[in-house]
Amino acid sequence: MAYDEYMAERIRRVLKESKAKVEEKKMMGGLCFMVNDKMLCGIHFDKKKEIDLLMARVGPNAYEEALKRPGCLPMDFTGRPMKGFVFVAADGFDSDEDLEYWLGLCLAYNPLAKSSKKKKKK
């Protein structure tokens, strides 16, 4: 199933207001938003629960506090949660204020985040 286009549009609107230079990439069965060649956030469709989740890169310092917020879950693809990344269910970002909070955390961490290594073309 494709990601929720309405959710993507809400994210685009908030990021446009931030004036960050954003790139979009389809990956991991969803849509990722990149800033400075680093993953900022994304939309992930959970096949088991059949819901779209906000995937947020909040960083290791904000991780524990983020997990206390409504709808927030550890980001876990493989049975081992990824520190610094969280999933947020719809009830955690229903309001524009909540979505702005999550994207604000992501934007605050982005300058500190490391870029993934680019694969060399043969």
CATH of residue 65: 3.90.1150.30
Its domain, for residue 63, covers: 5-112
Domain count, the chain: 1
Of 15, 11, 8, 10, whose CA–CA distance to 30 is shortest? 8
Distance CA 23, CA 35 (A): 6
Cα torsion 56, 58, 63, 67 to 10°: value is -40
pLDDT of res. 48: 83
**pLDDT tens per residue, range 7-51:** 999 999 999 999 889 999 998 678 999 999 999 999 998 888 888
Output the pLDDT for position 87: 96
Written as six digits, the tokens of 30 are: 């969803």
> Does residue 19 lie in a domain region?
yes
- Cα separation, 2 vs 72, in Å, equals 22
The mean pLDDT of 70-78, rounded to a whole number, is: 89
